[in-house]
């Protein structure tokens, strides 16, 4: 890992991209690379910024920037650029059994995003309410502050502890479903599962408890209730569909289908780890194989307009699923080959 790019570097990178000077931009990145700066992620961040602004016409100049990326990313970047122009290079990469499993999964995430990408709504019914989950009925102060920020939007907000969530699931989906929810081994997994039950039954806008609304969140909540919404991590090679911010009407088929997918994963795990069972890895894998009706926003739009997560002390403890799994020797790549085995 090299040195972080500085403000002046990004100023020149963006200026060269705006002028569509692909060769000069690639040469500049190569120069920075030679000086020890980490430039490998710069092309993907530029793609996110272009997608977020709607200025995608110049993305084609990035194909030549592939050589400054790492590992399997050159082929991934070229495939993303090609598919933005209407190709199917990402699909071929996903199905390439000779490619590295992580590269195949990255291609899957990008293909899912490009299949479902869209912009913010400007009209439609409201989302109903905003809801959040925190297993303990007495969350820490920073989580309460986040809840109050969502309440300040002027929309109804529903807050669920584990007890409240289990009661809700028992009422609408039965005692066995509630017992399964309570018996899961980590709060993040319980949250992943509960949000889907809640969306299927009543719809609404789900936002992770460790988050703050952006300046466009109130407008979004007021007119996004006519369809299903999520976002993708378009600023990095490891593009996945994110499940920390979800919205849709009651009974939206995409969330009903994903709920079934998660329940099947819990019954017969395709790979170890919450990421693959119920988190972004599972969401991405489900959307790739499903005929789903959902709009995925680029990460830049989500973060700047709607939703951003904040650091909190609990994230450095085992209440954070990443810390929990790391302490047990688990990593995101575990089981990836098994997950991709049936991809043809």
Return the pLDDT at 1. Answer: 67
- Alpha carbon distance 17, 19 (integer Å): 5
Return the pLDDT at 283. Answer: 97
Q: What are phi and psi for residue 39, nearest 5 degrees?
A: -110, 0
Residues linked to residue 131 through DSSP beta bridges, in sequence order: 158, 206
Between β-strands 229-232 and 295-297, what pairing exists: parallel, antiparallel or unpaired? parallel
Mean pLDDT of 112-136: 95
Q: Which residues contact 205 (CB under 8 A, 6 or more apart)?
A: 127, 128, 129, 130, 131, 155, 220, 221, 224, 245, 246, 247
In the block, residue with structure tokens 């996110």? 48
DSSP, collapsed to helix, strand or coil, labels residue 143 as helix
- Is the pLDDT confidence value at 286 over 70? yes
Contact (Cβ atoms closer than 8 angstroms) between residue 143 and residue 209: yes
- Is the pLDDT confidence value at 148 over 90? yes
Q: How confident is the model at residue 44 (pLDDT cuts 50, 70, 90)?
A: very high
59 compared with 221, residue with greater pLDDT: 221
Give the CA-trace dihedral at 120, 123, 127, 128, to 10 degrees.
160
Mean pLDDT of 155-179: 97
**Which range (51-60, 70-79, 238-247, 281-290) has the least confidence?**
51-60
223 compared with 67, residue with greater pLDDT: 223
pTM: 0.94
133 closest CA partner among 72, 196, 202, 57: 196
Q: What percent of the chain has pLDDT over 70?
A: 99
- Is the pLDDT confidence value at 25 over 70? yes
4 compared with 332, residue with greater pLDDT: 4
Contact (Cβ atoms closer than 8 angstroms) between residue 122 and residue 224: no
Query: The tokens of 332 are what?
Result: 């995101």
Give the CA-trace dihedral at 197, 201, 204, 205, to 10 degrees.
10
Q: Where are the alpha helices (DSSP H) in 203-310?
A: 217-223, 253-267, 274-277, 280-289, 299-301
204: left (phi over 0), alpha (psi -120 to 50) or beta: left
List pLDDT tens digits, range 297-308.
999 999 999 999
Mean pLDDT of 308-337: 82
Return the pLDDT at 323. Answer: 85
| Residue 196 CA: distances (Å) to CA of 9, 110, 156, 205, 322 | 42, 23, 19, 11, 21
Mean pLDDT of 264-286: 92
Query: For residues 243-278, b (16+ Cβ closer than 10 Å) or e, as one string?
Result: bbbbbbbeebebbbbbbebbeebeeeebbebbbbbb
Q: Which residues contact 325 (CB under 8 A, 6 or more apart)?
A: 273, 274, 331
| Residue 244 CA: distances (Å) to CA of 94, 114, 123, 286, 308 | 25, 19, 23, 16, 10
Looking at every residue in the chain, the average pLDDT score rounds to 93
Return the pLDDT at 289. Answer: 93
Q: What percent of the chain has pLDDT over 90?
A: 78
């Amino acid at each position: 890992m090299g040195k972080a790019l500085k403000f002046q570097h990004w100023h020149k990178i963006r200026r060269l991209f705006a002028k569509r000077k692909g060769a000069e931009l690639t040469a500049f990145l190569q120069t920075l690379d030679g000086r020890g700066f980490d430039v490998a992620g710069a092309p993907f961040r530029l793609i996110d910024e272009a997608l977020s602004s709607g200025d995608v016409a110049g993305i084609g100049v990035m194909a030549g920037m592939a050589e400054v990326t790492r590992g399997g990313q050159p082929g991934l970047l070229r495939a993303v650029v090609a598919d933005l122009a209407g190709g199917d290079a990402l699909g071929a990469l996903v199905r390439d059994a000779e490619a590295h499993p992580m590269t195949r999964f990255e291609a899957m995430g990008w293909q899912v995003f490009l299949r479902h990408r869209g912009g913010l709504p400007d009209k439609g019914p409201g989302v109903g309410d905003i809801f959040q989950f925190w297993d303990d009925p007495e969350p820490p102060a920073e989580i309460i502050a986040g809840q109050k920020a969502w309440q300040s939007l002027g929309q109804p907000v529903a807050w669920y502890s584990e007890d409240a969530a289990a009661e809700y699931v028992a009422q609408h989906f039965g005692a066995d479903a509630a017992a399964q929810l309570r018996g899961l081994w980590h709060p993040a997994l319980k949250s992943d599962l509960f949000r889907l039950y809640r969306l299927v039954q009543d719809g609404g806008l789900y936002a992770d408890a460790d988050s703050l609304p952006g300046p466009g969140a109130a407008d979004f909540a007021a007119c996004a209730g006519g369809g299903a919404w999520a976002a993708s991590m378009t600023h990095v090679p490891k593009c996945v569909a994110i499940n920390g911010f979800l919205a849709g009407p009651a009974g939206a088929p995409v969330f009903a289908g994903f709920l079934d997918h998660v329940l099947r994963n819990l019954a017969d795990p395709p790979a170890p780890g919450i990421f693959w069972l119920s988190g972004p890895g599972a969401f991405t894998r489900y959307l790739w194989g499903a005929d789903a009706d959902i709009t995925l926003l680029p990460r830049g739009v989500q973060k700047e307009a709607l939703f951003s997560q904040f650091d909190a002390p609990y994230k450095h403890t085992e209440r954070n699923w990443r810390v929990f799994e790391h302490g047990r020797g688990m990593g995101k790549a575990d089981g990836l080959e098994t997950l991709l085995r049936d991809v043809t």
